């Protein structure tokens, strides 16, 4: 039974491209020896397109690779902050909004935010989209700069700055790079009312409905519901006094 897709870049700059995928794009990698890094992609999908469509012809037998995201503008801003060179601006391409960036070895790669929806099998669902799973964790404190340095030294995490418009919060990464596993945030702006504790985010189908149910069952809604990226979130306290966040992806 097929259980995944393996993609390959043939490049004149393999070491530079591996570093780019790991350090700039934040893809988790396993060193399998001999300098080879195998990247574990969080999600995959596949399509089959006509070789000629809307006046554009591509030779039959040509493979194509692109990356997709939930929020194109936010992802572009994050990657540009890491030094990724974009060659154009986001534009409508029919199946969503897309932009292209350069990668070592002469590659120009598409990044897009799809306008279509895909029903994914349970094995292919990520925690950020599957209700009932813990999808994120972050910590909101008055001095995020000092606290992220504390966790860099204690947990071995690496950090990257996340532009919040006038100040920076921090994304925390595994040693050696990889996707963000947690956030350390300043208690400012929309985060000013969040409790100073590690906050886990539980994905739900509908944050507003879940917040209402929380109140009905004797819990409190401490913050929100409000928009967060491409979805909605709120912070609740259960009847025993424990606090967590609820998150639902999709249009805010």
Going along the chain from its start, the domains and CATH numbers come out as 14-114 (3.10.180.10), 126-248 (3.10.180.10)
Q: What is the mean pLDDT of residues 188-202?
A: 87
- Over the chain, what is the mean pLDDT? 85
pLDDT > 60? residue 126: no
Instruction: Please provide residue 233's backbone torsions phi and psi, each rounded to the nearest 5 degrees.
Output: -145, 160
Indicate the range of 36-45, 48-57, 215-224 predicted with least confidence. 48-57
Find, among 177, 166, 167, 178, the residue nearest to 145 by Cα: 167
134 has a pLDDT exceeding 70: yes
**Which pair of structure tokens corresponds to residue 139?**
């910590």
pLDDT at 220 over 60: yes
What does the DSSP assignment read for 11-50?
-S-HHHHHHIIIIIS--EEEEEETTEEEEE-S--------
Q: What is the signed CA dihedral for 163, 169, 173, 179, rounded to 10 degrees? A: -40
**H helix or E strand, kind and range, residue 235:** strand 231-237
């Amino acid at each position: 039974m097929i259980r995944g897709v393996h993609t390959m870049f043939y490049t004149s700059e393999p070491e530079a491209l591996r570093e780019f995928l790991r350090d700039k794009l934040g893809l988790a990698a396993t060193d399998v020896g001999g300098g080879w890094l195998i990247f574990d992609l969080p999600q995959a999908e596949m399509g089959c397109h006509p070789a000629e469509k809307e006046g554009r012809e591509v030779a039959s037998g040509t493979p194509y690779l692109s990356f997709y995201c939930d929020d194109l503008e936010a992802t572009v801003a994050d990657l540009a902050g890491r030094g990724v060179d974009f060659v154009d601006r986001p534009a409508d391409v029919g199946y969503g909004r897309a932009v292209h960036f350069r990668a070592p070895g002469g590659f120009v790669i598409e990044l897009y935010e799809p306008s279509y929806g895909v029903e994914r099998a349970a094995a292919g669902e990520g925690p950020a989209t599957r209700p009932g799973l813990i999808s994120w964790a972050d910590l909101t404190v008055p001095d995020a700069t000092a606290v992220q340095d504390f966790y860099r030294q204690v947990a071995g995490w690496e950090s990257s700055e996340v532009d919040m418009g006038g100040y920076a919060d921090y994304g925390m990464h595994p040693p050696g790079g990889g996707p963000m596993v947690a956030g350390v945030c300043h208690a400012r702006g929309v985060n000013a009312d969040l409790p100073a504790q590690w906050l886990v985010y539980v994905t739900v189908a509908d944050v507003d409905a879940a917040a209402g149910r929380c109140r009905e069952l004797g819990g409190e809604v401490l913050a929100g519901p409000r928009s967060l990226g491409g979805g909605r979130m709120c912070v609740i306290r259960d009847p025993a006094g424990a606090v967590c966040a609820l998150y639902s992806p999709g249009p805010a």
